[in-house]
Amino acid sequence: MEEKTVVIQTKLGQLRGLVKYSSLNGKNYYSFRGIPYGEPPLGELRFKSPRPFGRWKGVRDATEDGPSPKQPVLVHPPDTVPGPALGTDEDCLYLSVFVNELPRKSSSLKPVIVFLNEGGFLIGSGSSENKGPDYLLHADIVVVFFNYRCGAFGFLSLENEEVPGNAGLKDQTLALMWVHDNIESFGGDPNNVTIFGLSAGGASVLFHLLSPSSRGLFHKAVSRSGTALDPWALQDNSRGNALKLAKKLGCSSENQNEVLRFLQYTPADDIVAATTKIMSEDKEMVTKKVSLVFLPCVEISGVEPFLSDTPRSLMERGQFAQVPVIIGGCAQEGGVLAYFDGLNDEAFTRVNENPVWIVPSSLGLKPGSAQEKEAEQDIWDFYFKGNWISWTNIEDYLQYQADVQFNIGIDTTRRHLLRYSTAPVYTYLFTNHTRCSVCFLLELMHPKFFSKICTKETCHGADGSFFYHNSILHHLPLTQENKEDIKRNVDTLAAFASTGNPNHSDLGVEWRKDSLRNPCYMDIGTTWTLSEGTTFTDRMDFWKGLLQKYNSN
């Protein structure tokens, strides 16, 4: 049956959208997809800051998603060689808006939630295939999803004024500007915008807290399982990575102009393939930062940089937006390494043969020093009790990776927010593992060892299934218990988006503000429980001790 369409008037022109049917509550909602917010970043605009798209003529069709960004296939069966993802395009700067009702002049404006994609700054999109709004529109909010450039297209830097880096984060800022200028046409309140992100999306949320470019474009923030302090969230040696990519593709010049022109006219799929090769060749980076290469960076040149100093320095000085924040993660984040060839016998052997790899660079220790060797021994004894890493003690290695890649960053960010922010901070630990799209994907990739990677502990990214309607889980029916869990998560998010306070009449427990003096967090499982203290206390105390020991020297 043909779907019903609807036309609305916006400041930029008319849009034709669809009347859709919610899989959660059976009610209708309105969908406006594939709306351009930036000019196609092609040719000489590749790697550059985005330009606004502007107006269009006539009635623009908004019934289909815009193309997803250029990216590799990350999830694939064993013994297969992934290539660039199909159906992707550099012309990807599109967003989608979803509402429960069409705007009327007499209606009050609604809270807006803008969702920033996960995917390690390498993959991901705002596609309605994996980010359907059905669950979110249980609440009376306006929902926005959008694409931003990934990989080298969004994060290559030549450390000069022409390509200073962070084009992908600047895409995000341009999308937030578009929301600020246009969301009222959809019934949304431009003065009540919440940004929400999971994993790289969570790190992106923190980057926006830190960047003056984003001030005033959002009013509340939700960072889930990712911060700007995570080792995989900041690029090392940006110019060197750009030159390495050019050399991999056949350009041996180190002249910045020659490298730029070469890369701007290299086929996009070749850039994706070369990036994948670079990632696979640096085995140490799999352990240290899940092999990611093109990431946000400190801009050392350029006009109005998005990021002018390291996230750590900015956080330590309290230089971030003073807005209410929800921050936390999942019970077991470490399984994410399975996406990057980091959980297998060969990977374990490489770490066992190079045990110094487990010493994170955040300790600031000189390579080859006695202190580095001492830290290596301390970490190895604490997590592995002196044993080699293998499938026998995989849970210990998962804990180590969860802490280094995620939990330390979350805990450190939380403490800086509590120390310097005048706005409330709400902390959580997500422990509901009843509906997990990540387990489904990891079973496809690692059928032999799946049961050792996906345990009863909640996987990195499992909470997304309680906010997004994801086609990956189409084979799993929504039970009544699933529906109630989804509604509670969505209602809590909507309450926070509306007032800056996540508490609401149906929550059943008070979510107290966190504090340094009286720390607490919400344990979000099949039941919600407010817990006194902090998450992973013993493990975080271990790392605080190491940081104090070595950073004081």
Give the model's confidence band at 3: pLDDT under 50 very low, under 70 low, under 90 confident, else very high: confident
Q: Is residue 117 helix, strand or coil?
A: coil
Is residue 318 scored above 50 in pLDDT? Answer: yes
Q: What is d(CA 225, CA 274) in angstroms, rounded to the nearest whole number?
A: 28
Question: Nearest 5 degrees, angle CA 535-CA 540-CA 542?
Answer: 150
State the average pLDDT over residues 494-514. 97
Q: Is 210 in contact with 320 (CB distance < 8 Å)?
A: yes
Give the model's confidence band at 118: pLDDT under 50 very low, under 70 low, under 90 confident, else very high: very high
Break the chain into its structural domains and give their ranges.
Answer: 1-76+85-98+118-323, 329-552
Q: What is d(CA 332, CA 517) in angstroms, rounded to the nearest whole number?
A: 26
Q: What is the residue whose two structure tokens read 């995570």?
A: 230
Residue 28 falls in which region: left (phi positive, over 0), alpha (psi -120 to 50) or beta: beta
Q: Is 120 in contact with 202 (CB distance < 8 Å)?
A: no
Is residue 473 scored above 80 in pLDDT? Answer: no
- From the number of C-beta atoms within 10 Å of its C-beta (0-12, 13-18, 19+), residue 269 rates as middle
Q: Identify any residues that bridge with 456 across adjacent strands, giving them in sequence order.
A: none
- % of the chain with per-residue pLDDT over 90: 80
Is residue 76 scored above 70 in pLDDT? Answer: no
What residues contact residue 46 under an 8 Å CB cut-off, 6+ apart? 90, 153, 263, 264
State the average pLDDT over residues 84-93. 86
Q: Identify any residues that bridge with 29 across adjacent strands, giving them in sequence order.
A: 20
Q: How far apart are the first and last CA of the chain?
A: 70
- From the number of C-beta atoms within 10 Å of its C-beta (0-12, 13-18, 19+), residue 339 rates as buried
State the average pLDDT over residues 490-507. 97
Query: What is the per-residue pLDDT for 435?
Result: 85
Q: What is the DSSP string of 479-519?
A: -HHHHHHHHHHHHHHHHHHHHS----TTS-S--PPP-SSS-
Q: Sign of the C-alpha dihedral, residues 340, 344, 345, 348?
A: positive
Q: What is d(CA 226, CA 118) in angstroms, rounded to the nearest whole number?
A: 9
Q: Sign of the C-alpha dihedral, residues 269, 272, 275, 281?
A: negative
- Closest among 331, 330, 333 to 402, alpha carbons compared: 333
CATH number, span 1-76+85-98+118-323: 3.40.50.1820
Write down the mean pLDDT value for the chain: 93
State the average pLDDT over residues 299-315. 92
DSSP 337: G
Token reading at 517: 């003096």
More confident residue, 4 or 303: 4
Query: What is the per-residue pLDDT for 79?
Result: 59
Q: What is the DSSP string of 343-407?
A: SSHHHHHHHHH-GGGGS-GGG-PPTT-HHHHHHHHHHHHHHHTTPPPSGGGHHHHHHHHHIIIII
What residues contact residue 456 under an 8 Å CB cut-off, 6+ apart? 433
Q: What is d(CA 34, CA 250) in angstroms, rounded to the nearest whole number?
A: 35
- Does this chain's domain 1-76+85-98+118-323 share its CATH topology with 329-552? yes
Give the model's confidence band at 267: pLDDT under 50 very low, under 70 low, under 90 confident, else very high: very high
Secondary structure string (H, E, C) spanning 178-238: HHHHHHHHHCEEEEEEEEEEECHHHHHHHHHHHCHHHCCCCCEEEEECCCCCCHHHCCCCH
State the average pLDDT over residues 312-341. 94
Exposure letters 30-44 (e unless 16+ CB within 10 A, then b): bbbbbbbbbebbeee
State the average pLDDT over residues 129-153. 95
H-helix or E-strand spanning residue 275:
helix 268-281
Is residue 383 scored above 50 in pLDDT? Answer: yes
- % of the chain with per-residue pLDDT over 70: 97
Is residue 1 scored above 60 in pLDDT? Answer: no
Using one digit for the tens of pLDDT, what is the confidence trace for 433-453?
988 877 777 777 777 777 788
Using one digit for the tens of pLDDT, what is the confidence trace for 196-240?
999 999 999 999 999 999 999 999 999 999 999 999 999 989 999
Query: What is the per-residue pLDDT for 282?
Result: 85
State the average pLDDT over residues 445-473. 83
Q: What is d(CA 259, CA 316) in angstroms, rounded to the nearest whole number?
A: 36
Q: Are strands 94-99 and 28-36 parallel, antiparallel or unpaired?
A: antiparallel
Query: What is the per-residue pLDDT for 420?
Result: 97
Query: What is the per-residue pLDDT for 295?
Result: 97
What residues contact residue 450 under an 8 Å CB cut-off, 6+ apart? 439, 442, 443
Q: What is d(CA 120, CA 263) in angstroms, rounded to the nearest whole number?
A: 22
- Closest among 440, 449, 455 to 130, alpha carbons compared: 440
State the average pLDDT over residues 113-127. 95
Is residue 270 scored above 50 in pLDDT? Answer: yes
In order of 48, 264, 286, 355, the CA distances from 346 in angstroms are 39, 36, 12, 14
Q: Are strands 220-224 and 325-330 parallel, antiparallel or unpaired?
A: parallel
Query: What is the per-residue pLDDT for 553?
Result: 42
Q: What is d(CA 318, CA 312) in angstroms, rounded to the nearest whole number?
A: 10
Token reading at 65: 């998603």
CATH number, span 329-552: 3.40.50.1820
Query: What is the per-residue pLDDT for 194?
Result: 98
Query: What is the per-residue pLDDT for 83?
Result: 62
Is residue 552 scored above 60 in pLDDT? Answer: no
Expressed in percent and rounded to 5, the helix, strand and coil fractions of the chain are 40, 15, 45
Phi/psi of residue 98, nearest 5 degrees: -130, 135
